[in-house]
Each structure stands twice: as structure tokens, then as C-alpha cells.
Structure 1
Amino acid sequence: MKNNISEFLFGRTPENSLPERVNTAITAQQSKSEQLIGWVQLILVTIFATLYALAPKTAMSDGFHPVPWALGLYFIITFTRLVLSYRINLPAWVLTLSVIADISLLMVLIWSFHIQYMQPASFYLKAPTMMYVFIFISLRALRFDPRYILLAGASAAFGWLALVFYVLWSEGGHSMITRDYVTYLTSNSILIGAEIDKIISIVMVSGVLAIAVLRAQRSFRRAVSEEIAVRDLSRFVSREVADRITHADQQIRPGDGEAVHATIMFTDIEGFSTISEKLRPAELARMLNEYFAATSAIIEKFGGVITQFQGDAMLITFNALKPDANHAESAVKTALEIQKLCETRNFCHGSKLKTRCGINTGDIIVGAIGSENRLTFTVHGDTVNIAARLEPLNKQYGTYILASEATVTHCKDHSFAAIWTRQGDVTVRGRTRPTPIFSTSHHAFHNGAI
């Protein structure tokens, strides 16, 4: 019950603590906020001093005038704190004293009005300067920390209560109390209810602001946690998959998926087992990292999404997770450029890495498979199976790019027609119906299409 009330008032607590790097960034942002607060306060005291200087000085005491002294002291404190905020990260005790000092100086300034204008103490209770209390409280919301809002509100409420008690204590204070609202407004009389209303307003404004900031703070931390999760998750799966998982309207369950018309490409490094035997594990990992970095740049260039890594093999989709009207053409261009890369670049062990590609176009299902506790977001269907079978057939035909008739047909660029060589009809493993297959290479592609 207690947790439900707390969550209702203040919002849901983030489930995961933020990494230290994120907390450091938030702390840095709060330091910037403290600088902003300092500038606003400096502008306020300047405006207040200007108004005081321009206002007519009627019915004022010829003796000591506390207002300019209070304004001067407040200016010095504000300016000093502003300079320090640019040099150091102000510690909590400095911020606490700063909030108390701000409110205290404002209360002293208000208190001094009855001396300045030679009026009874109740005179200052009607000073419009009291409205500055709410400005000082709301300024603390810029730091995004409810503690200082509550501290400012508590200091202001206590300060105003002290001013009221001073009026009641001072000579003739009790005799000036009235219950008549008109008398209160048109004289120096005191209406206790009006002063209680001011204190309640201070407390309520501070409380509402603190709750609003705390709710926003918790929402912000949850949003940052989710953003970090998406960013970190996208290092293990594609950004598109991570976004689909984290932004789903409902929790993804096994079997959830959607049918799309897309192009699938499987890739595999020729002779990878032989290469692996000649390299130490660290060298092998370095080689694969270089290879995947180079090929990933090409895949991203043409709008493909790496849906799955398996050893040296990749499952790449076009128009499955990222919209692409010319998905078949994009897949072929990707395969051609990967082939060109592998022929021209030496990787860390000094050799070429020839890559075989199998491409097919058709209807697929994009979604999650597995159990409730362990899911894999992937693509499946007959189209995917055919693409997977075409890739190893390159070894049989001595080719590096094999595509189905569906892919060739869906290529809208007519210049692609001249680059295909029909290899015949094959019955791929798992199917009874023959599949027409075509091969190509980047040498056969003319006219600078890539």
C-alpha cells in the first residue's frame, strides 16, 4: 500500500541504477543548471536595485537605510557563487547554505521596509516583494533536485512565520489584529488568516514543484536507462531490432511476427576453417572484427540489416526491418561490393577473405521465436530457407554470388539484366520443386552501377 501511494505521487522508481558515466553526465548538467540559477539571480538583484534607485524616496528615514546594504550584500553573495560555479562543482553544503542565505536575505530585506519607511512592523507584511519568494523557490527547479526546492520552501515558510511573530511581538502588535478584510487592506492592521494563507501557499507551491521535479527526474532516469539499454543492445543486435523490441506497444511473445516481402542474403567466408587453423585466437578475433566492420559499412550503405551473426556467417535482410522499395537491387549491390572488397583488401593476417553470398526474394515472417524466457528476433520462412541453401551452392558452381529467379526479376534496374548468368535449375535441400538460380560477379557489372 505504501509503495503504491509513493508510486502514485512520485512516479515509478527506475528499476536499474544508472552507470557511473551517466551519473557523471547528470552531475555535470546540474552544475550547468547552478550557473543558470546564478545568472538569473544576478539579473533579479540588478532589476530590484534599479527599481529601488528609480523609485521616489518619500517618507523615508533620514538615518540608516538597510535596503541598499541588503541588496549590495546579496549581489556580492550571488556574484561570488556564480564565479565559483564556473570553477568547481559546488558541494551540497554550499548549495544548502546558499538556499538558506537567499531566502534569509530576502526576508531581512522585507523586514527592513518598516524601518526604511518609518511605519509599524505590520507594514512589511503587505510588501509586494514577498512575491519574490516564489521566484526563488521556482529557480531551484532548474537544478532538477527536489531537495533544494523543499529547502527553499521550508526556509521561506519559516522566515515568513518569523516575520509574523515579530509583528505580533513588537509594541502594539496585538492591538493591530483585525478580522475585517477591508480594514486589513486599507490600513496597517493585521489579518492572521491572510498571513496563514501566504505560508500555506509557499508550502503548497514548494510541495507541488518538488513532486513535479521528482516525477520528472524519475521519468528522465527511466528514459536514460532504456536509451542505454537500446544502445548497448544494439551492439549485440541491430539497431532496428533493438528499437523494435524496446518500442513495442506490448511485450513481444514467442510467435509474434509480421509478414513482409523482402530480400534475404546469407554470407559465409570461403575456407574459414582452414584460415582458423593457421591463426591464434586473438589474431582470428582481430581478423573477424576487421572483416565485419568493413562489410557492415557496405551493408548499412545499401540499407541492409544484419539480423544474425553465426561464426563467420551473416544473415542480412533488406526491407524486413528497414523500409526499402528496391530491396532486391540493394541486396545485389551489397553482394557485389562485398565481393569487390574481398578481392582488393588484405585483412590482418595478410590474406584475402573470399565471401560467398546466397540471395532470395519473397515473403517472410519477421518476429520472435523461442520460449517466454529466451527469445530470438529473426526472420523465417521458405524464402529464408532457399537463401540459406543457395549460399553453399556457390562452392559447387565455382561462384561467389548466387541468386534466385525471384531476386533477378525484382531488380528494377534494367542494367542488372546483363550481369546474370543462368546456372540452371536446382532442387535445393528441403524442397521438391526446382529453383532457377543465377550467378554474377562485380567484374560482370559494367557502366559504374555501384
Structure 2
Amino acid sequence: MPRACNCFTRAWRSSPIGLLNVWLADQVRRAMEATRGQLLLERLLPGVARAALKDPLSLLDAPRSVEATLLVTDLRGFTSLSERMEPGDVFEMLNQLQGALSEAVHACGGIVDKFMGDGMLAVFGATEPGHDHARRAIEAVRRIRAALDEQNRLRSAGLRIGIGVHSGTVVAGCLGGGSRLEFTVIGDAVNTTSRLEAMTKDKGVDVLVSEETVQRVPEVTFEDLGVAPVRGRQQGIRVFTLKS
């Protein structure tokens, strides 16, 4: 007889109360596991978790087209810094750095779509549509800058960052199936945001914001850097940087 059955059999023979205690303990364990899972989901993907709680089937429906603001980051100097460290220490440091940046995103109502080594893709407005997704993305930029400054102060690391921000239409939905299901966004807007981030090196700034995003936040002051060619697009786009 399996061990679990032996436990129930011994509990029943000793007392019906013993069987009840075993059942209650199992229910408490299941509830704790469900709570831990929900807390983990809320920590990693707060926007997705809230949307799932409101309407669990909505995330599994056909992908939908939404207006959103994308934010792509890339840590500069991390590779050279990690070459002098043990692999375990590199992973721990990257985990803490990316954790600090993702907290900045979450604080502004965004979600981290994915980590790409020392890079990150975040999206605002994909799970909770609204007109303020661009404003929240710009606030996240400010928080990311502050978070990196704090990490550099704590570690004397001297790391820098490149950030691209762009607003546009994306397709949002769940990819995969079975035990592997991932919420993500795809579309030209994602590619454009990534290219803006790469362009920060050429422009000598830490942040590049597209005109599409700037137009959505008239209360914020940007510096106009002119029209820049973007690979994959026939026409260039006007880019701006955020000074403070």
C-alpha cells in the first residue's frame, strides 16, 4: 500500500479526528502553495496577474491589437565587468540589477515582457489599456535611471544604460500551450523600440524617445535630436532625449 494511504489508514484507526487533521493539513498546504504561486505571479507580472484575476479567459482569447508604449533597456559595461567575476557572482549581480529595473517598471504599472541577458523589454498598456501608457513609461525611465544610480553607488560598478521608448500598435496575447504559456507582445513597434535603444550609442545619450511617444506627453520637456534613419523603415523617425 502506498505511503499516503498508510497515513490515512493509521489516522482513521486511531481516531476519526486524526483523519480530519490529516485532511485539514493537506488543504492548508494546497492553499499555501496557491498563495505562493499567486504572489510570485504578482511579483513577476503584476499587470498580467491582475488581468487574469478580473477575466481569466480573456488572456487566452485570440490575440488583440492594442496601443501601447514599449521600453527596451540594455546595460552597458556589464560584460566587461562580469569577465572578472565568478559565474555565480555574475548571475547574482545581474539578478539584482534586473530586479531593480523591473521594480521601476512595475511601480509605473508596466510589465516586463522578457529579459534578454542584460537587456529588458517592458510594455505599458497591453493588459490594462488606457491613454496614459506613454506617461507611465516616461516615469519608469526616470525610476530606472535612479535605480541604476543607486546600484552603481552600492557596487562602485560604473554601469551605464541605453533606453529606447516608442509608442505604437502591438499584438498582445499568449503564446505556447500546455505547461508552457507566455504572455507577450509582437509587432513593428517592438522592433522600432529596440533599434532606438541601439541608436543611443550613436547619439551619445542614455535615452531615445520617438515622436509618437513625445506627442502623448506634452507636459514633459524633451530635447529634439532631429530625424534619424531606422533600419527596416523606409522613412526615418524624429527622436528626442529626456534630460531630467
TM-score band by shorter chain is 0.7 to 0.9
Q: CA deviation at 1:353?
A: 2.2
Q: Does the 8 A contact of 2:67 with 2:129 survive in 1?
A: no
Distance in 1 between the 2:132 and 2:158 partners? Answer: 30
Instruction: Identify which range, 266-275 or 362-371, moves more after superposition.
Output: 362-371
Q: Retained in 2: the 8 A contact 1:291–1:347?
A: no
**Structure 1 SS opposite 2:158:** coil
Which residue of structure 2 lines up, in the alignment, with residue 440 of structure 1?
A: 242
Alignment-mate amino acid for residue 240 of structure 2: F
Superposition TM-score, scaled by structure 2 size:
0.78
Residues 275/385 of structure 1: CA separation in 2 closer, same or farther (3 Å cut): same
SS of structure 2 residue aligned to 1:346:
helix
Cα separation, partners in 2 of 1:362 and 1:234, compared to 1, 3 Å: same
**Aligned-residue CA RMSD in angstroms?**
3.5
CA distance in structure 1 between the aligned counterparts of 2:89 and 2:174, rounded to whole angstroms: 34
Per-residue deviation at 1:335?
A: 0.8
2:6 corresponds in structure 1 to: none
> What SS does the aligned partner of 2:80 have?
helix
Higher relative contact order (CA 8 A, sep 6+): 2
Q: How far is 1:242 from its partner? A: 5.0
Aligned residue among 156, 160, 163 for 1:354:
160
- In the alignment, residue 325 of structure 1 is paired with which amino acid? H
Deviation at 1:374, TM superposition (A): 4.9
Partner residue in 2 for 1:319 = 125
Q: Report whether the alignment pairs 1:330 with 2:131.
A: no
Report which of the two has the higher share of strand: 2
Shift of residue 342, structure 1, vs aligned partner:
2.4
Closer, same or farther: CA 342–231 of 1 in aligned 2, 3 Å: closer
Residues 1:393 and 2:199 aligned together:
yes
**Cα pair distance change 1:278/1:347, threshold 3 Å:** farther
The answer to whether 1:411 aligns with 2:213 is: no
The 5-angstrom pairing of residues 148-167 of structure 1 reads none
Aligned residue among 419, 426, 430 for 2:228: 426
Please give the TM-score of this superposition, normalised by the length of structure 1.
Answer: 0.45
Separation in structure 2 between the aligned mates of residue 287 and residue 384 of structure 1, nearest angstrom: 27
Shift of 1:410: 0.3
Match runs of 1:57-72 below 5 Å = none
CA contact (8 A) 1:287 1:348 kept: no
Q: Distance in 1 between matches of 2:95 and 2:59?
A: 33
**2:69·2:166 contact (CA, 8 Å) conserved in 1?**
yes
TM-fit CA distance, 1:270: 1.1
Aligned length: 232
Note if 1:290 corresponds to 2:96. Answer: yes
User: Unaligned 5+ residue runs, structure 2?
Assistant: 1-10
- Cα distance between partner residues in 2 of 1:363 and 1:251: 18
The residue number in structure 1 matching 2:45 is: 238
Aligned to 1:248: 56
* Helix, strand or coil at the partner of 1:325: coil
Give the superposition deviation at 1:409: 0.5
Secondary structure of residue in 1 paired with 2:60: coil
Give me the whole-angstrom Cα distance separating, in 1, the residues matched to 2:232 and 2:202: 17
- Over residues 24-74 of structure 1, what are the superposed CA-to-partner deviations in whole Å (9 max), with x where a residue is unaligned? xxxxxxxxxxxxxxxxxxxxxxxxxxxxxxxxxxxxxxxxxxxxxxxxxxx
Could you tell me how far apart the structure 2 residues matched to 1:393 and 1:317 are? 19
User: Going by fraction, where is helix more abundant, 1 or 2?
Assistant: 1
Give, in angstroms, the shift of residue 250 of structure 1. Answer: 7.7
Shift of 1:92: 5.9
User: Which one-letter code corresponds to 1:267 in the other structure?
Assistant: T
What's the offset of the Cα at 1:373?
A: 7.2
Residues 1:366 and 2:168 are matched in the alignment: no
Distance 1:294 1:251 in 2: 27
For structure 1, the 5+ residue unaligned runs are: 1-90, 100-139, 147-216, 443-450
Name the CA distance, whole Å, in 1 between partners of 2:167 and 2:59. 29
Residues 47 and 109 of structure 2 are in contact (CA less than 8 Å); yes or no, is this contact kept in structure 1?
no
Give the superposition deviation at 1:333.
1.5
Equivalence map 1:33-432=2 (5 Å):
95-96=15-16, 228-232=36-40, 237-242=44-49, 248-249=56-57, 252=60, 256-346=62-152, 349-370=155-176, 374-412=180-218, 414=219, 416=220, 418=221, 420-432=222-234
Q: Please name the residue that 2:4 is paired with.
A: none
